A and B are shown apart, each in its own frame.
Chain A
Amino acid sequence: MAYSDKVLDHYNKPRNVGSLDKAKSTVGTGVVGAPECGDVMKLQIEIEGDRIVDAKFKTFGCGSAIASSSLATEWVKGKTLDEALEIRNTQIVQELSLPPVKIHCSVLAEDAIKAAIADVKTKRESDLKKESA
């Protein structure tokens, strides 16, 4: 299969590879996929207030999955949580020119963003409860 230049670029120079401290209350972690399926994506965000100030990823998956998650970290940085929730897998497909068989790699990236946001929101709510208690 031929890869688009953008997929190759992210694959060869993945952005924001790494991990954030998942114990931190301002860090949200999303892990989606399963090893038996050949893809596991971990995407993490760090927030200040409502804004995402940092993002990191690690991905076990095909080149398109790696590129999708790398792109996702670039896109979420600087956005508010609500803005980040607006990111759709179809935008990733378009940006990376993914072929139809690779659409699920982009879906995984969207799911990972959502999971990371949900995680940080849950943490924030339980913090608020603790404070008010």
Chain B
Amino acid sequence: MKLPIYMDYQATTPVDPRVLDAMLPYFKGEFGNAASRSHPFGWQAEKAVDTAREEIASLIGASPKEIVFTSGSTEAINLAMKGVADMYGAKGKHIVTCESEHKAVLDTAKHLEKEGFEVTYLAPDITGRVTAEAVAEALREDTILVALMWANNEVGTLNPVREIGALCRERGVLFFTDATQAVGKIPVDVEADNIDMLCLSAHKIYGPKGVGCLYVRRRKPRVRLVAQMDGGGHERGMRSGTLNVPGIAGLGKACAICEEELTEEMEREIRLRDLLEEKVTSRLDHVHFNGNREHRLPGCLNLSFPYVEGESLLMGISDVAVSSGSACTSASLEPSHVLRAMAVGDELAHSSIRFGIGRNTTEEEIEHCANQVVEVVKRLRELSPLYEMVLEGIDLSTVNWAGGH
């Protein structure tokens, strides 16, 4: 087993060697510009792009013509939300989203607010989920867009996308879902799931960084977007700029592999994820699960270890690369906005760790990770004035804390 162990698969994933092999030709001999129509170099590149478009479309149940390549999910999110706002702004100025979305969605929504749009930020429930009923209540006559993620990147909770999509369809509102963490990890079908727009990113599914796409529905309803990048009119005018052919070839291959291995990989990751939880919780008291037990990603486990601060925990579990919802480190001193929105309590947020399980995770790694977590939590609790108080029977919520920041 190689140390450190990578368990941060929601942050990014390694490029699968099969993906790399699919990309290499387009760095070498087949370096053409996919927009060059007059020679074989261009034709080869165009063929690679077309193949990738088919592979991506196949994974999400779309048609290849509905795929618009971007530099990743952040750009696709900007294009979807701003593109819809610019196109349909005359029809209505109201947008619905959620407090626990990725910053790319939240900051784009803030930007649109400055331009005169009104945004409703729904609060997720304590498991991180938004219900279709909550969306229904938020919809107004002038709502033009609902933007809700499929799978949350911090806690792995899945939204009831199919129901929300059906509701939006019925009410004539466009539905965009940030599926960056969902595509390739769970079944996704833009037809059955009633999706109008969806973004995905290659680096989350064992492809390269800096490439992704936006799915834009062409029929029933036909979604029209105002381009956010001016230039040569690539991607049917929706996203100008010479296509990143090697990246796109890699994204296509990454999708093809995910499609082929989806069911098997889901089962494997669920087994490892549950094994990790079992190995940790059986040996430690006071461990808190963050997320939704029923509706969740296979490869994500978010746990809080009360009375131990997340960053000191990360420092201790130095053999394992994971991430924490505690952000006492950052300039803001604010814990994760996702755990905040879920209202799990700042104390739990400060002690949370996200374990990401992926294609290369082994049982041996899970064992090692669990052992180190248990050992470090025990050691830090010995050091914790809070744990000491709890053992003395003091209710921490009744303590009058002097001078927090």
Binding site for B on A (CB under 8 A): 1, 3, 11, 14, 17, 19, 31-42, 58-63, 65-66, 101-102, 104, 111, 115
Contacts of A58 in B (CB 8 A): 383-385, 388
Q: Which residues of B contact A62 (CB under 8 A)?
A: 309, 311-312, 315, 326, 328-329
Contacts of A39 in B (CB 8 A): 309, 328, 404-405
Q: List 10 A-B contacts (CB under 8 A).
A: A11-B316, A34-B404, A36-B350, A38-B335, A41-B385, A58-B384, A58-B385, A60-B385, A60-B386, A101-B329
Which of B331, B388, B396 sits near A35, CB closer than 8 Å?
Answer: B396
Judged by a CB distance under 8 angstroms, whether B402 is at the interface is yes
Interface string of B58-80 (1 = CB under 8 A from A): 00000000000000000000000
Beyond A11-B315, A111-B403, A115-B402, whether A40 also contacts B383 by CB under 8 A is no
Asked if B189 is an interface residue, CB under 8 A from chain A, the answer is: no
C-alpha spacing A65/B310, complex, angstroms: 12
Interface set of B (CB-CB < 8 Å, partner A): 307-312, 315-316, 326, 328-331, 333, 335, 345-347, 350, 382-388, 396, 401-405
Say yes or no: B388 contacts A40, CB within 8 Å. Answer: no
How many whole Å from B396's CB to the nearest CB in chain A? Answer: 6
A contact residues around B383 at 8 Å (CB):
14, 17, 58-60, 66
Give the nearest-CB partner of A69 in chain B.
B383
Tell me if A33 and B312 are in contact (CB < 8 A).
Answer: no
Q: How far is the CB of A114 from chain B (nearest CB, A)?
A: 11
Cβ of A61 and Cβ of B347 under 8 Å apart? no
Shortest A39–chain B CB gap in Å is 6
- Evaluate contact between B385 and A42: CB separation under 8 angstroms: yes
Q: Which of B309, B329, B403 contacts A60 (CB 8 A)?
A: B309
- The answer to whether A32 touches B403 (Cβ under 8 A) is yes
Q: Is the CB of A36 within 8 A of B309?
A: no
Q: Looking across the interface, which residue of chain A has its beta carbon closest to that of B403?
A: A32
Docked-complex contact B401 and A35, CB < 8 angstroms? yes
Report Cα–Cα, A63/B308, bound state, in Å.
11
Q: Which residues of A contact B403 (CB under 8 A)?
A: 32-34, 111
A75 to B402, CA, bound (A): 23
* Most chain A CB inside 10 Å of its own CB: which residue of B385, B388, B403: B385
B347 and A35 contacting across the interface, CB-CB below 8 Å:
yes
The smallest C-beta distance from B47 to any residue of chain A, in angstroms, reads: 46
Judge whether B347 and A36 touch: CB under 8 Å.
yes
Known contacts A42-B385, A115-B402, A66 near B346 by CB under 8 Å: no
**A1-B329, A62-B329, A101-B329 known; A37+B386 contact, CB < 8 A:** no
Given the interface pairs A38-B333, A58-B388, the reply to whether A33 lies near B401 with Cβ below 8 Å is: yes
The residue in chain B whose Cβ has the minimal distance to the Cβ of A37 is B404
B305 to chain A minimum Cβ distance, whole angstroms, is: 11
| Complex: chain B residue closest to A99, CB-CB | B329
